Amino acid sequence: MPPNQQQRAQLTANQNTTRNAESPHEPSRDALRKRAVASCVRILPTGPLFGVVEPPGSKSITNRALLIAAMADGTSRLTGALASEDTEVMIQSLRNIGVTIKRSAGGRELVVTGLGSAPASKDLPDEPKELFIANSGTTVRFLTAALSAIGGSYVLKGVTRMHQRPIGDLIAAIQPIIDGTIQATSPGQCPPVEIESRGWTGSRLRVAGSVSSQYLSGLMMAASIASSRHKDEIQIDVDGELVSRTYVNMTAAVMRAFGASVTADETSFCVSNRYQAANYHIEPDASAASYFWAAAAITGGKITVRNVTPRSLQGDVGFVDVLEKMGSHVRTDENGITVEGRAFRGVDVDMNTISDTVQTIAMVALFADSPTRVRGVAHNRFKETDRIGDLARECRRLGATVDEHQDGLTIHPLAEEDIAARSDTSPPIRMETYNDHRMAMSLSLAGLKLPNLDIANPSCTGKTYPNYWSDLEALTGHPHFWTPAEPTK
């Protein structure tokens, strides 16, 4: 029996040991422990996929709502929240500065008692509070701005990759208006970030917009804190191109839900009013939804993502527009968005506003009939990994030709004869993920068509989507193949 048929038979026979008896789509605790230390996961190829999926809550909205609720007057209730590594890092950091956060429903409901608008202390502590922010870009950028406005002494540290991700433009924006000091101490103006602050002293600041929209989002959320203390509107001006404008619009919408006033034009944002506690529902993650829409487009199936609609705060719903241009059919209603049929045409597309889905579209592009050119995403090199260079490397590992450009890349499809030539007996290809959750989830989609692809470090998806592999498994209808990690010597 060929290897993959053996794997199917073995895994199907053992399925009851890897599924929760109460839900056929939830792995058992024992299975979760095995997966947490697995070195690779192999997605067995499938025909057209059909189904309905609801991803977990949006990471981007959850971390914004957490920070704002933590700074509000009163007690807020957040529902639909994401429980993941990134949100856990934010929760623990907020708790470490005195915020009370109570969890229920497996972390999907959060009750947050805010710090309110107490004035910044003029007396700084002898020792700074150390906050561990792992590799969470939202956490380090949002907290850097907020803590500088609140006041106090802090050190924000992360994993090695975090200490390679630039934050200098945010630091430079805060330095002219801080009563105290703020600096990034790694080469290239990267974390750790050291803050000694008695709050903000000015009401106008400038920030560069070309590296990350999270700098502006962090300053906007912090501006409400500063405004409530100075009784003055805070104006933030943006220098140069603003990447990912849709995420800034999201920030403004969440702020308004908690009572802040935000007005904006193309280059300036004005913020006033203190945050007030609110009951706030967090919608499912549109970035996570892109993997399932792409699965339909790659396999020629039909998949509905429930409770994500064009009215979403998240710009990544625009991913379906790209699939439609590539030939898939897209249908929307009040319950969600459905993608049906193969995406067969290559496109030339600016993905600046949906840059978190570039890796996903690259997988779709591998199986199209003509090349796909992605533009406007130069800032993707500064994410969890270099999401241009490393993505190109992994696509080439599959045999594709990929051209890198300053602002993106061109993906040439795999030749039909090369796809057909791969079989259950083909040598395995190990796909590296660079500890990047989006790299792992995107590369898994290639495994829907190509046998014997091993996705390395599958547990990294816990950063934003801990149950991704289970949800994909439920959609394909058969278990994945997990390779145990080598024992530690």
| Pairing of the two strands 204-208 and 234-239 | parallel
How many alpha carbons fall within 13 Å on the CB side of residue 450?
31
Closest CA to 286 of 112, 134, 61: 61
- What residues are paired with 409 via a beta bridge? 374, 404
Rounded CA separation 412/224 (Å): 47
Cβ proximity of 475 and 47 under 8 Å: no
Buried b (16+ CB within 10 A) or exposed e, 307-334: ebbeebbbbbbbbbebbbebbbebeeee
Write the CB contacts of 39 (distance below 8 Å, at least 6 apart in sequence): 456, 457, 483, 484, 485, 486
CA–CA separation, 480 vs 457, rounded Å? 14
Sheet holding 348-350, edge to edge: 348-350, 372-375, 408-411, 402-405
The sheet with strand 50-53 has its strands ordered as 50-53, 302-306, 336-340, 329-333
* Active-site annotation, residues: 356
